[in-house]
């Protein structure tokens, strides 16, 4: 009889190796003017997935869902246009926002996400995990609408060799301009579970309920410095600011990133405008930028990636503006969805990193 310990060890090793390759962190910040800004990092350290390419999708596009048998799944016509990061030239990727301000982001969930087993008699309801993202972005303008319609589709496992041969076990974070937000997980071969986000934070495995339980280990964390204490003839004082956060985990595992992102979100300074929240999001997520060598052994370093954090994005749902910077160019760029006529625009790919070179401004004073 095989020991139950060995399968558990293999599962944990598999999760560790997967998350070492795909470690993304997401947060949400709100501003006093009613702004809601959803931001995240994107890590995909297999090879260059070209996450920096952004797809503009028009209204009224006809979609056909993919199943293990091909493009014979759910058919629908999109009501809304949207912008989305892409991967490997596929029509979907890490996150996107539609013209009504609905945000959809996907995060890796290896070892726990389990889609439905394909049933040919239910092909008309079936689609891939990437199709689910496109379906939500193109069909709904609020979180409540998307959640209410989840029972009309079946997400099935579809092997997609275009993603570097990687499996695609994802969970979702969706947010609308009202601030309403949900986490969607598909487990146990198709069971859909929906959670309220904890402070708007999401990372990777394990499942979301586990991360909430784990937060109980960090109830003593605070942004208030520790008080001096006297022991015999010694008065011990904190060495510097931040002493209340001693014990905050600093590694790049999903549980540690979740706790760290929650702490930084909870202690975020008051923000006046949504644009201010955009740049504060970038500052917070700078704490989650991963140097490639920190997670990938030297012998496995991909030659076409300069950083494990390939893209950082921030979606201003109030103003309908999508911001991002990349590993190739740290300059923040934006796409203003209000200026796009989604009724007439053709499907368009934006690749602003073709030169793969950071913009540097030389401010050396000139001598006369």
CA distance linking residue 100 with residue 72, whole number of Å: 29
Burial letters 158-187, b for 16+ CB under 10 A, else e? bebeebbebebbbbbbbbbbeeebbbbbbb
pLDDT at 181: 98
Say if CB 26 and CB 202 are below 8 A apart: yes
Locus of tokens 């009724």: 343
Q: Are strands 62-64 and 333-336 parallel, antiparallel or unpaired?
A: unpaired
pLDDT at 45: 60
CA distance linking residue 350 with residue 329, whole number of Å: 14
Please tell me the least confidently modeled range out of 7-21, 55-69, 275-289, 292-306: 7-21
- Per-residue pLDDT for 48 more than 80? no
CATH homologous superfamily of 8-206+272-350 equals: Penicillin V Acylase; Chain A (3.60.60.10)
Instruction: Dump strand ranges (E) for the chain.
Output: 26-30, 36-43, 54-57, 62-64, 75-77, 82-85, 95-98, 103-108, 126-127, 154-155, 170-175, 181-187, 191-195, 229-231, 234-236, 309-316, 321-326, 333-336, 348-350
| 238 Cβ neighbours under 8 A, 6+ residues apart | 225, 226, 228
pLDDT at 163: 65
pLDDT at 359: 86
Say if CB 66 and CB 131 are below 8 A apart: yes
CA distance linking residue 74 with residue 152, whole number of Å: 10
- Per-residue pLDDT for 93 more than 60? yes
- Express each pLDDT in 123-150 by its tens digit: 999 999 999 999 999 999 999 999 999 9
- Residue 275 phi, psi dihedral angles, 5° rounding: -65, -35
Helices and strands: H and E segment counts in the chain: 6, 19
CA distance linking residue 182 with residue 157, whole number of Å: 22
pLDDT at 270: 97
Say if CB 60 and CB 333 are below 8 A apart: no
pLDDT at 306: 80
Name the more confident of 360 and 321: 321
Tell me the mean pLDDT in the region 89-112: 94
pLDDT at 8: 35
- Per-residue pLDDT for 20 more than 60? no
Say if CB 35 and CB 74 are below 8 A apart: no
Q: How many CB atoms lie within 10 A of CB 156?
A: 26
pLDDT at 231: 93
- Per-residue pLDDT for 79 more than 60? yes
Say if CB 343 and CB 59 are below 8 A apart: yes
Tell me the mean pLDDT in the region 270-282: 98
In this structure, what DSSP letter does residue 4 have? T
pLDDT at 348: 95
pLDDT at 49: 62
Cα–Cα distance list, 144 to 30, 230, 319, 331, 335 (Å)? 19, 55, 20, 35, 26
| This prediction's pTM | 0.91
> Could you write out the DSSP letters of every residue in 300-315?
G--TT-S-SEEEEEEE
pLDDT at 164: 59
Domain ranges of the chain: 8-206+272-350
- Give the SS3 label for residue 261: helix
Average pLDDT taken over every residue of the chain: 90
> In terms of Cα–Cα distance, which of 44, 17, 40 is closest to 310?
44
pLDDT at 21: 55
- Per-residue pLDDT for 7 more than 80? no
Please tell me the least confidently modeled range out of 49-53, 68-72, 342-346: 49-53
């Amino acid at each position: 009889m095989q020991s139950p310990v060995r399968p558990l060890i293999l599962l944990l090793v598999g999760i560790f190796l997967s998350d070492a390759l795909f470690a993304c962190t997401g947060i949400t910040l709100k501003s006093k003017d009613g702004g809601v800004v959803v931001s995240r990092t994107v890590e995909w350290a297999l090879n260059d997935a070209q996450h920096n390419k952004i797809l503009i999708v028009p209204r009224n596009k006809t979609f056909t869902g993919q199943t293990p048998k091909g493009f014979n799944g759910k058919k629908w016509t999109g009501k809304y246009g949207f912008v989305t990061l892409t991967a490997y030239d596929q029509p979907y990727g890490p996150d996107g926002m539609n013209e009504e301000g609905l945000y959809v982001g996907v995060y890796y969930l290896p070892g726990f996400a389990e889609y439905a087993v394909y049933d040919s008699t239910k092909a008309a309801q079936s689609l891939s995990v990437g199709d689910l993202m496109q379906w939500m972005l193109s069909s709904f303008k609020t979180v409540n609408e998307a959640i209410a319609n989840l029972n009309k589709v079946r997400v099935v496992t579809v092997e997609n060799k275009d993603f570097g041969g990687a499996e695609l076990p994802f969970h979702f974070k969706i947010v609308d301009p009202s601030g309403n937000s949900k986490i969607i997980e598909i487990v146990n071969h198709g069971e859909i579970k929906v959670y309220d986000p904890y402070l708007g934070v999401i990372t990777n495995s394990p499942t979301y309920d586990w991360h909430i339980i784990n937060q109980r280990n960090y109830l003593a964390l605070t942004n208030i410095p520790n008080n001096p204490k006297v022991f015999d003839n010694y008065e011990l004082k904190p060495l510097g600011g931040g002493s209340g956060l001693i014990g905050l985990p600093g590694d790049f595992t999903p549980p540690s990133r979740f706790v760290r992102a929650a702490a930084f979100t909870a202690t975020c300074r008051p923000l006046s405008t949504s644009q201010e929240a955009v740049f504060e999001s970038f500052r917070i997520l700078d704490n989650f930028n991963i140097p490639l060598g920190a997670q990938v052994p030297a012998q496995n370093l991909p030659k076409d990636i300069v950083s494990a954090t390939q893209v950082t994005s921030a979606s201003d749902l109030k103003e309908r503006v999508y911001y991002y910077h990349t590993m190739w160019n740290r300059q923040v760029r934006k796409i203003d969805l209000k200026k796009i006529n989604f009724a007439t625009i053709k499907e368009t790919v934006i690749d602003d990193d073709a030169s793969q070179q950071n913009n540097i401004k030389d401010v050396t004073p000139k001598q006369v």
